[in-house]
Amino acid sequence: MRIRPAPRRTHCWSPTLEWLRDSLLAAGTISPGDLDLIPVTDDLDELITVIQSCVEYHTPPPA
């Protein structure tokens, strides 16, 4: 059995982002800047940079 990689392409996330804009943003549940907190990219290098930044931010300093 072959395992397919998880989708990371922008077209995979477009329906979700559209729903967030049309539903939650329109209802005032989230603010416009909240949508910028969800990185979506087709560029593998950019994806790696986002993941590395997140890991660095959430890694506690050594004791």
Range(s) of the domain holding residue 37 = 10-58
pLDDT number for residue 30: 95
Name the domain count of the chain.
1
Evaluate whether residue 40 is within a structural domain. Answer: yes
Segment 25-62, tens digit of pLDDT: 999 999 999 988 888 888 888 888 888 988 998 899 88
Give the pTM: 0.62
Evaluate whether residue 5 is within a structural domain. Answer: no
Q: Confirm if 38 and 31 have CB atoms less than 8 A apart.
A: no
Evaluate whether residue 36 is within a structural domain. Answer: yes
Evaluate whether residue 63 is within a structural domain. Answer: no
Evaluate whether residue 48 is within a structural domain. Answer: yes
Q: Which of 31, 46, 38, 33 is nearest to 16 (CA)?
A: 38
Q: Confirm if 20 and 37 have CB atoms less than 8 A apart.
A: no
pLDDT number for residue 11: 81
